[in-house]
Amino acid sequence: MSLEKRNNVQVHGDGPRTMFFAHGFGCDLNMWRLLAQAFAKRYRTVLFDHVGSGASALSAYDRSKYASLQGYADDVNELVAAYATGPALFVGHSVSAMIGMLANLRAPALYAAQIMIGPSPCYINDGDYVGGFTRPDIDGLLTTLESNYLGWSSTMAPAIMGTPERPELAVELTNSFCRTDPEIAKQFARVTFLSDVRAALPELRAPTLILQCTEDLIAPVAVGQYMHRVLPDSTLTLIENVGHCPHLSAPSSSADAIRAFLTSRSL
Amino acid sequence: MDDWKQLLDRAACGLMQTDDSGTFLRANHVFCSWLGYAEDELVGRRRLQDLLTMGARIFHQTHWAPLLRIQGSVSEVKLQLVTRGGEAMPMVLNAIRREHAGGFVHDVAAFVARDRDRYEEELLQSRKRLEVMHALARDRALYAEQMIGIVSHDLRTPLGAIRLATELLASAGAVALDRAVPRIARAVERSNRLIADLLDFTQARVGSGISVTLAPVDVHRAVAEIVEDLRGTYPTRTLSHQTTGAGVAPLDENRLGQVIGNLVANAVAYGEPAAAITVTSALEDSTCTISVHNRGAPIPPPVAATIFEPMTRGTSDGSQARSVGLGLFIVREITRAHAGTAAVESSVEQGTTFRVVVPR
């Protein structure tokens, strides 16, 4: 199967460098529609879905391969090797920031920089480390997932109510956005929220931007500060935003922060 | 206007409006009373997500919020809200995000979904029950496969020996009697043992477990007799019997013979032929321990981990090893029927010891 089909790869824009955008748990590449276009003028942009999410090839989903973040990271390296012109810029949201880091550690030459939006190396509290969650919280999420996939039909698309102001969106997205096979969603949730890649942070040599929201339940400010302390070469930028998706709720300040970082690193 | 306000307040569902970050701008009477809050405790003070359980908050962040941003609406999302008293209340929520006065507001409708929640819980439970039943069915299919393996392979070996002996008799006549008759007798004995093992195996695997009849048994006396009988079965091997302590234990003496017989057969098959096999019976205050020790190459740890499981088809071992494998499974099942445990320790220095411990 081609990588294009497997990961629903969508290439736009043009420029000497290639920018990859990787969505986090719960969504797909449509997450990037507001942010990615801000970079399409100066960069070649590559959007893709992780296998098991969005319009990726579900037949490529292999439970043992994707039982750890490394399985996703290996896919990322294949994509970057195939689609990048020169060392790539990797933009990862949430768990994908960590997937990008793991990919970078395996093949450092492929990457020029990592841009992490709302990253967390470990979601569960552990001694002095505050990840923000306990194990029962994560079990509660799994129950919520189970409950909602029960409520959804076999296409797993949440029903869309009329959105009179933006009818084009409803039609276009009804069957893609947030669509996931329930078993895959549960495994991805487990792999995401039970991951702990703190030990790998000090190994990452690539210049890294940590884009941290001021109020983010999934990745609290303390986690961003922890990452900034432990990563060898990182910039921490706080964005005034409530929620976990600044690229959706504050796309222009997110784009500004990324541009400022890239300029400061002459990328 | 007052009519409308009253209608909204008393609607057949919870209605609320929040700003783009989820902070309540208003909430109708129905929603407030479901959750036990006064409207002014919510408006401007709490966000919708503050009322969710932690698991639901994660879902809200990873699904609800992005969906609302990109699609402008979400519907039929079921989340657990927490009442002021701390009780979880399942609700189905619909929301629309729309432009209002230069910003965005979310209009949200909520329905209590206790019944749906219970129904789903039942569905999940029945799915789990089905999974258990499916596993059970798979296990039975595996049993059938094992059974076929044993019957088609192991029982053929003694039958083959009998056929060879009868062919010998047919071609050589009476002069072959001395050689053929003991062979046939041994093969018949072996078939009998196998069939007895198969019955025990069946009882343990798909029946109610191996049955035992417990009675006070003078352990050292019983073990001494069993070891003496086994010396007759294995005349070329040295079997020693050691004892510690003294007294009786509640045992099934026939089953005890089977346990020691199977363990000694195993030691004969795998132990160093020149070294003695030691059977030890030890009585402590609350336990009775029977162990069988042999010298020889140790059992590799991965094999030791599953050594009491019945051998499955496709094992590379020969026929003798296969029936021995069934023997150890029977040892464990008999031990379990005595409320005891069976274990193995094996190393180059210490050799191999199978130990069965049952309560007194």
Which tokens in the block code for residue A173? 């997205």
Nearest to A192 by CA among A225, A218, A226: A218
Test A31 with B124 for CB contact under 8 angstroms: no
For residue B22, what is the nearest residue in chain A, using CA coordinates? Answer: A242
Report d(CA B195, CA B53) in Å as an integer.
Answer: 59
Residues of chain A with pLDDT under 50: 153-164, 167-176
Test B73 with A30 for CB contact under 8 angstroms: no
Is residue A12 in some structural domain? yes
Test A161 with B66 for CB contact under 8 angstroms: no
A24 contact residues in B (CB cutoff 8 A): 62
Chain B residues 42-61 within an 8 A CB cutoff of chain A: 49, 53-59, 61
A134 contact residues in B (CB cutoff 8 A): 54
Is residue A184 in some structural domain? no
- Cα of B86 to nearest chain A Cα, Å: 16
The dihedral through the CA atoms of A143, A144, A145, A150 has a sign that is positive
Catalytic residue among A94, A96, A120, A254: A94
Catalytic residue among A28, A216, A247, A254: A216
pLDDT recorded at residue A179: 63
* End-to-end CA, chain A: 33
Q: Which CATH class is domain B2-112?
A: alpha beta
Chain A residues 247-266 within an 8 A CB cutoff of chain B: 248-249
Q: Count other C-beta atoms under 10 Å from residue A91's C-beta.
A: 30
Report d(CA A10, CA A29) in Å as an integer.
Answer: 9
Residue A94 annotated in active site: yes
Which tokens in the block code for residue B264? 């000694």
Chain A residues 198-217 within an 8 A CB cutoff of chain B: 215-217
The residue range of the domain holding A253 is: 3-122+195-264
Q: Could you tell me if A111 and B81 are in contact, meaning their C-beta atoms sit under 8 angstroms apart? A: no
Is residue A141 in some structural domain? no
Which tokens in the block code for residue B320? 């003798």
**Helix ranges (DSSP H) in chain A:** 3-6, 33-36, 69-83, 95-106, 135-151, 167-173, 182-193, 221-230, 246-249, 251-264
Q: Which CATH class is domain B119-206?
A: mainly alpha
Test A33 with B70 for CB contact under 8 angstroms: yes
Nearest to B305 by CA among B260, B345, B356, B355: B345
Residue A14 annotated in active site: no
Test B56 with A140 for CB contact under 8 angstroms: yes
For residue A186, what is the nearest residue in chain B, using CA coordinates? Answer: B59
Ramachandran area for residue B210 (φ above 0: left; ψ -120 to 50: alpha; else beta): beta
Report d(CA B241, CA B259) in Å as an integer.
Answer: 15
Q: Count other C-beta atoms under 10 Å from residue B126's C-beta.
A: 10
* End-to-end CA, chain B: 85
**Taking CA A200 as the corner, what is the angle to CA A198 and CA A204, rounded to the nearest 5 degrees?**
125
* DSSP annotation of A162: -
Q: Which CATH class is domain B215-359?
A: alpha beta
Size of interface A-B (CB pairs under 8 A): 134
Residue A244 annotated in active site: yes
ipTM summary value = 0.86
Backbone φ and ψ for B122, nearest 5 degrees, come out as: -60, -40
Query: Read out DSSP for A109-137?
Result: GGEEEEEEES--SB-B-BTTB--SB-HHH
3-state secondary structure of A158: coil
Q: Count other C-beta atoms under 10 Å from residue A249's C-beta.
A: 22
Test A248 with B71 for CB contact under 8 angstroms: no
Q: Could you tell me if B98 and B108 are in contact, meaning their C-beta atoms sit under 8 angstroms apart? A: no
A25 contact residues in B (CB cutoff 8 A): 62
pLDDT recorded at residue A150: 61
Is residue A34 in some structural domain? yes
Is residue A204 in some structural domain? yes
pLDDT recorded at residue B47: 96
Which tokens in the block code for residue B187? 């093969």
Burial bucket for residue B86 (CB in 10 Å: 0-12, 13-18, 19+): exposed
Which tokens in the block code for residue B72? 């402008």
> What is the distance of C-alpha B16 from the center of its chain?
49
Share of chain A above pLDDT 90, in %: 75
Q: How many residues does chain B have?
A: 360
pLDDT recorded at residue B325: 61
Q: Among A217, A218, A223, which would you mutate to test the B interface (most chain B Cβ atoms within 10 Å of its Cβ)?
A: A217
Is A132 touching B (CB cutoff 8 A)? Answer: no
Residues of chain B with pLDDT under 50: 312-324
pLDDT recorded at residue A165: 52
- Nearest by CB to residue B62, choosing from A26, A160, A242, is A26
Which CATH number belongs to the domain containing residue A64 in this structure? 3.40.50.1820
Query: Read out DSSP for B163-226?
Result: HHHHHHHHHHGGGGHHHHHHHHHHHHHHHHHHHHHHHHHHHHHHSS------EEEEHHHHHHHH
Domain ranges within chain B, ordered by starting residue? 2-112, 119-206, 215-359
A190 contact residues in B (CB cutoff 8 A): none
Report d(CA B307, CA B310) in Å as an integer.
Answer: 8
Is residue A157 in some structural domain? no
Is A177 touching B (CB cutoff 8 A)? Answer: yes
Q: Among A30, A31, A117, A144, which would you mutate to test the B interface (most chain B Cβ atoms within 10 Å of its Cβ)?
A: A144
Chain B residues 120-139 within an 8 A CB cutoff of chain A: 120, 123-124
Q: How many domains does chain A have?
A: 1
Is residue A35 in some structural domain? yes
pLDDT recorded at residue A158: 42
